[in-house]
Amino acid sequence: MDSLTHHRHPALGLTVGYMVPIIPSVLVNYACATMKIPHKNFILMVAVGMFPTLALYAFGGDALFKGNYTRLLVIVVLIVIILLLTRFVHQRRVEAATK
């Protein structure tokens, strides 16, 4: 709970909380309620955070059952690219804010 609420960028920490399947969503929901996150931001954090996991479960599981490992690899690569791009954009914003 402390890691979620005392993160340098709380919205990013909560979004990652939704992204990691090991962290219970109830805990992240409670952290959002405690921090009084606006409803619009909450929906956006849930959508962005859950997308990589849901895509991997939906398309990756189907690819495994059908033996289509190429599709699974493409999905994993796309998710990694999206995560790297968001990290890059975030770093650029932090650098621009410090200048």
Rounded distance, CA 80 to CA 88, Å?
12
pTM: 0.59
Q: Where along the chain do its domains lie?
A: 2-98
Q: Which tokens in the block code for residue 86? A: 């968001």
Ramachandran region, residue 77 (left: φ > 0; alpha: ψ -120 to 50; beta: rest) = alpha
pLDDT digits (tens, 9 = 90+) for 42-95: 888 888 888 878 877 877 777 777 887 787 788 788 878 877 887 787 788 778
